[in-house]
Amino acid sequence: MRSRIILSILWVLAAASLILPLTALTQQRETVYGEKSETQTEKELTPGPGWKTCPRCTNNKQLAAAYKKYQVEGHAFDPKDISGIWGSNGLELDVKTVPPFTPEGQKMFEATRSEIPTTNSRDGMLICDPLGYPRWYAYNYGMQFVVLPDRVLQFFEWGHTWRDIWTDGRKLPDDPPTPRWLGYAVGRWEGDTFVVEGTGYDDRSWISEDRRNRIRGFAHSDKMRTIERYHRTSYGSLETEMTIIDPVVFTQPWTTKKKVDLRPNAELWEYFCVPSESDDYNRKLIDAAKASKK
């Protein structure tokens, strides 16, 4: 009888311990992340008549209105035309599918560990190093494909830069003359899917920040290769797949599948990482956090 009472109490505690933190998290999210905001308006901010807003300037109300205005639902499309602005933040990599590290990969991952727990002090982004690829795929404030006869241009608002994906039949270099932050990329069509292969990446960049606790980044070697697949399934929707192959770091390929939405109301604005602005920000808000830990 006594053990039954203890068991009952434990069940109640278990239920409460599962429900209460979830409730607290939900409240925290609503409070801090601003899903309810009296200042988020339906009116978009643009530079003037004829100009458009930017992907990341658009809140959910404005995006819903834009989808109606531009008649995105049911709009005619050519699956072999991936032109347009896609998303507003990048295609974050799936950390749930990160493959096991090799011993060397584990060491490289640990070497990225921040000196402080509040932000990643070793992140090159803090000093405006180029994000490199595929980090620019994962984090970009909006990505635009422009299709030309001999290449597809992939533009990113963050850093205001672009990547050339050559479609003129050339092969990837076996031994690139120099590593590049954005590597070397060639593309081809497999049915309605645009397949991009990349190589020759500069190993100073990270694949991505590790968003699980934001104190490390996923490092890669100069042997990393990438394979991307893009499939436009409707006028407003692009299915994407990113596979990262780096035998120095991972025991298996790392694949992330996503879907990204068209931003019909937007054009890419300008986001440069400006060293003087970053210095100011780091001094005021990052160094203060570091100092408090010394």
Look at residues 197, 192, 263, 200 and name the one whose alpha carbon lies nearest to residue 230: 192
Site for other proteins in 152-171 (CB under 8 A): 157
Binding-site member from 66, 98, 123, 218 for other proteins (CB under 8 A): 123
Q: For the purposes of burial, counting CB atoms within 10 Å of the CB of 173, is it exposed (0-12), middle (13-18) or buried (19 or more)?
A: exposed
Site membership for other proteins, residue 23 (CB under 8 A): no
* SS3 labels along 87-147: CCCCCCCCHHHCCCECHHHHHHHHHCCCCCCCCCCCCHHHHCCCCCCCHHHHCCCCEEEEE
Residue 140 as a binder of other proteins (CB under 8 A): the answer is: no
Give the type of residue at 109.
F
The binder of other proteins chosen from 5, 18, 103, 169 (CB under 8 A): 18
Q: Which residue's structure tokens are 């991307």? A: 228
Q: How far is the CB of 135 from other proteins (least distance, A)?
A: 11
Residue 202 binds other proteins (CB under 8 A): no
239-247 contacts, C-beta under 8 A, 24 or more apart: 240/91, 242/91, 242/93, 242/134, 242/137, 244/93, 244/134, 244/207, 244/220, 246/105, 246/220, 246/221, 247/102, 247/223
d(CA 200, CA 164): 13
Stretch that binds other proteins, among 21-29, 69-77, 101-109, 166-174 (CB under 8 A): 21-29
Q: Does residue 51 belong to the site contacting other proteins (CB under 8 A)?
A: no
**Residue 116 Cβ, how far from other proteins at the closest point, in Å?**
9
Residue placing its CB nearer to other proteins in the complex, 41 or 106: 41
Does 284 engage in binding with other proteins (CB under 8 A)?
yes
Residue 3 vs 178, nearer CB to other proteins: 3
> For 31, what's the count of Cα atoms within 13 Å in the CB-facing half-sphere?
6
The nearest distance, CB 58 to other proteins, in angstroms, is 6
The piece of 17-25, 65-73, 175-183, 229-237 that touches other proteins (CB under 8 A) is 17-25
Residue type, position 196, single letter: V
Given the rule CB under 8 A, which of 47-55, 76-84, 222-230, 243-251 is the region that contacts other proteins?
Answer: 47-55
Q: How many residues bind other proteins (CB under 8 A)?
A: 64
Q: Name which of residues 203 to 262 contact other proteins (CB under 8 A).
A: 209, 211-214
Which positions from 82 through 121 interact with other proteins, judged by CB under 8 A?
Answer: 117-120
| Cβ-contact 262, 84 below 8 angstroms | yes
> Residue 232: exposed, middle, or buried by beta-carbon count in 10 A (0-12, 13-18, 19+)?
buried
Site residues (vs other proteins, CB under 8 A): 3, 7, 10-11, 13-14, 17-18, 20-22, 25, 28, 31-41, 45, 53-59, 62, 117-120, 123, 125-126, 139, 141, 157, 209, 211-214, 269, 271-274, 277-278, 280-281, 284-286, 288-289, 292-293
